[in-house]
Structure 1
Amino acid sequence: MRVSVELSHQLHPDEWARRHTNGEVPDHWPYGLDRLARHGVQPVLRPPRRGLVTERVGRAARHRLGGYEWMDALRFNDCDAVLCWDEYSGVPAALRERRKPVVTGVVWLTDEVAPMTARFARWALPRAELVWASSSAMIPRLRSDWGVRRAHHIPLGIDTDFFHVRPGSEPGLVVSAGNDRHRDHGMLVRAVRRVPGARLEIATRLPVDPAVARPGLSEGQIRGLYARASVVAIATTPNVHASGLTVTLEAMASGRPVVIPDTPGLMDYVVGAETGLVYPAGDEDELAKCVQRLLSDSAMAAELGAAGRRKVEREFSTELQAARLAELMLRM
């Protein structure tokens, strides 16, 4: 099976490959989708349209029509199916295609989207041949609220070669990262300030205390941040799409103990007191206690970090993600 891979957010395959060679980003293709070829699905990655006029029209269409990648959806392909990583390319593809099956991931749709975004999604997603999500909590909502016929949970995977265990953690250093609207970095800052001897660094573009903010880091540089961390902690507002998931898995793969809120999506990936510590979402006091517990008990921190690495290797690599996705596509 040959599939046309359509990515959103103007990801360009050649640029990604160059950055991967330079150690800036994981996987040879975004999200490790090149690994599909090892499992019976031949991916064809189309570069996004470029050019001043095209980009200007594309931005205007995204702004006025729900944030979707409409310009790239106007192109046709000679593959057997269309594969989209998320709804921003998947919704236009499902509305465009009449002859070929469309397979799309959904990342944010179940958490507070704009009316225009929701309207197009409700038209498009029932037409898709297959829809998947990284959070199992999204699956019943996709079926009941969005009319999806075939919705599946496919666990997120990360590049376990790129993110690996490195020595050199700094005592007392707590690290976090992330830019989505459900991050509660403010609560994390307040919680860490309550922990004696702790200091915090957050890789983010969101507004946060400049003393802890580390904006503009590449994924390679964030990997270095994990290597220095004693603890990786995440704070979010309630959500079902697993805000903080990528950071959680990257930190686990790096052998660092994680502290996460008990949001349903993240609970697919972390076993409390076995591969990380879990606190009630929004509970600043419990978050501070979890961080303090790990900073004061290096043996526990090391044990949780090692267990987290083993779990990612067994269950949450991009190789396994590609195998699971390919299996579903070949059964269409």
Structure 2
Amino acid sequence: MKVFVQLAYGFGSKTWRERWEAGRILGLNEEQAYGYSRAASDDIEIVYSEDQRENPLNKALRYGARLVLGFDFVHAWRNRKQMLASDVVWTHTESQTLAVLLLFRILKPVRRPKLLGQAVWLIDRWRKQPFWRKWFFRRLMKDLDLLTVLSVFNRDDGRRMFPDLRVERVHFGIRADDMKPARKTCQGKKLKVLSLGNDEHRDWKTFCAAANALPDVEFSIASSSPAAFEAAKNVPNVTLVRAKNNAELIGLYSDADIVVVPLQSNRHASGITVVEEAIILGVPVISSDCGGLTDYFGSDSVLYVPERNPTALAEAISAVRTNPSGALQRTEAAQERVKNAINSVAYARKHVELSKELLDA
């Protein structure tokens, strides 16, 4: 089985590897983006999309087409030769999924690869799309063989929105090869709480309100989001920090007693990457209970609090400080879950399993 992985511009095989080897990609990442290459074997060939070098005119053309269509068609077009030579195409977000679908519509290949297309934000943002774009997207998605999403909420929503389309939830997992032992935190004189992320669904107001209620605790935010800056500017025990490279990012996790993932209501498992990174690095996690995260990690693994509730968040932080042994047990349970089910190897294997179903149908 030959699999072609169509990813966003900037995530191409050569581009990504160069950045990864230089340590410029923050997080627990893979040599090839998102770990799809973990599926490679004697029977399965994995080929990634490549990024074509662009002059200003090329870039303007690609961006212009993306602005009109709502997805990056030009990048898919540039990769059409390798794509059409595959048995199955995998995508990571709806931008690539829709681009590949339009490519197939235009070229009408005699032997069309199966398309296992993924969506991350499409279903959450569907209501905000203009009516003509909804019509256009629906027309394209009629040709989709299988839609994968990353949360049970998006799966259920997708099945209602596209009743004739097969929609499956796939657990997104990251590299867990170098898991650190779960550690008993809250042993120092000063409790250190860390939160990270730039996702639009981060709830920095609630995080900073909880910090206001715990003036003896050090809170840090690693984010370039203007919303994070605005929420933190009048809270004396909240510091905005920045990791310039991967070593500095790992250092932030290592110094933290607790990682908090404060979230606004969403349907796509926002925050799951940070949750997994913290668990793999042995740090207790407190998270807002939304987005379908409990389908990844139960309450035995992560301490969940109601969304938009700074009092509950402050109480949860205090509870971890009071009972660090309980937090350690949760982290250990979460790490077992990562080892057994939530990691990049399992993520890639699920794609193989679904692809074989499509080819055998």
| Correspondence 1:44 to 2:47 | yes
Q: 2:129 aligns with which of 112, 115, 126?
A: 115
| More displaced stretch, 297-306 vs 311-320 | 297-306
RMSD between superposed Cα atoms in Å: 2.2
- What secondary structure sits across from 1:164 in the alignment? coil
Mapped pair 1:181 → 2:197: no
Partner of 1:32: 35
User: 1:175-234 deviations in whole A, cap 9, x for unaligned?
Assistant: 111112111112111112312521111221112226522346445532321111111111
Q: TM-score, normalised by structure 1?
A: 0.91
| Alignment partner, residue 88 of structure 1 | 95
Aligned to 2:21: 21
Q: Out of 154, 163, 173, which is 1:138 matched to?
A: 154
Structure 2 counterparts to residues 266-281 of structure 1, below 5 A: 266-272=293-299, 274-281=300-307
Q: 1:119 to 1:41 in 2, by over 3 A?
A: farther
- Return 131-140 or 165-174, whichever deviates more: 165-174
Give 3-state SS (helix, strand or coil) of 1:259's partner. Answer: strand
Residue in 2 that maps onto 1:56: 60
Check if 1:125 corresponds to 2:141.
Answer: yes
Offset at residue 327 of structure 1 (A):
0.8
Q: Secondary structure at the match of 1:240?
A: coil
What amino acid does structure 2 have at the position aligned with 1:137? F
Give 1:314's aligned amino acid: N
After TM superposition, list the pairs within 5 Å mapping 1:246-261 onto structure 2. Answer: 246-261=273-288
Tell me, yes or no, if the aligned pair for 2:171 and 2:347 is still in contact at 8 Å.
Answer: yes
Alpha-carbon distance in structure 2 between the residues aligned to 1:297 and 1:185: 25
Q: How does 1:1-332 map to 2 (within 5 A)?
A: 1-25=1-25, 26-38=29-41, 40-52=43-55, 53-66=57-70, 68-75=71-78, 76-77=80-81, 78-97=85-104, 98=108, 99-113=112-126, 114-116=128-130, 118-147=134-163, 149-162=165-178, 164-165=180-181, 171-207=190-226, 208=228, 209=232, 212-215=239-242, 217-272=244-299, 274-332=300-358
Contact 2:184 2:324 (8 Å CA) reproduced: no
Cα distance in 2 for partners of 1:136, 1:64 equals 31
| Deviations 1:267-316 (CA, angstroms, capped at 9, x unpaired) | 111211x1111111121211111111112322222222222222111111
Tell me which moved more, 55-64 or 132-141: 55-64
- Residue-by-residue CA offset, 1:127-179 (whole Å, 9 max, x unaligned): 11111111011112112214561111110111012553487966511111111
Unaligned runs of 5+ in 2: none
- Look up the SS of the partner of 1:213 in the other structure: strand
CA distance in 1, matches of 2:68, 2:77: 17
Distance 1:279 1:44 in 2: 41
User: Equivalents in 1 of 2:205, 2:244: separation in Å?
Assistant: 20
1:173·1:198 contact (CA, 8 Å) conserved in 2?
A: yes
Structure 2: which amino acid aligns with 1:45? Y
**Distance in 2 between residues matched to 1:164 and 1:126, nearest whole Å:** 45
Question: Do the aligned residues in 2 keep the contact of 1:193 with 1:199 (CA within 8 Å)?
Answer: no
Q: What is the TM-score when the length of structure 2 is the normalising length?
A: 0.84
The aligned length equals 330
Distance change in 2, residues 1:50/1:226 (3 Å): same
Contact between 1:125 and 1:147, CA under 8 Å: does it hold in 2? Answer: no
Question: Residue 111 and residue 163 in structure 1: after superposition, are their counterparts in 2 closer, same or farther (change >3 A)?
Answer: farther
Contact 1:24–1:220 (8 Å) recurs in 2: no
Aligned letter for 1:82? V
**Contact preservation (8 Å) 2:147, 2:167:** yes
Contact (CA 8 Å) 1:49, 1:55: kept in 2 or not? no
Any unmatched runs of 5+ in structure 1? none
Q: Tell me by how many angstroms 1:19 deviates.
A: 3.2
Check 1:167–1:307 CA distance in 2 against 1; reply closer, same or farther (3 A cut): closer
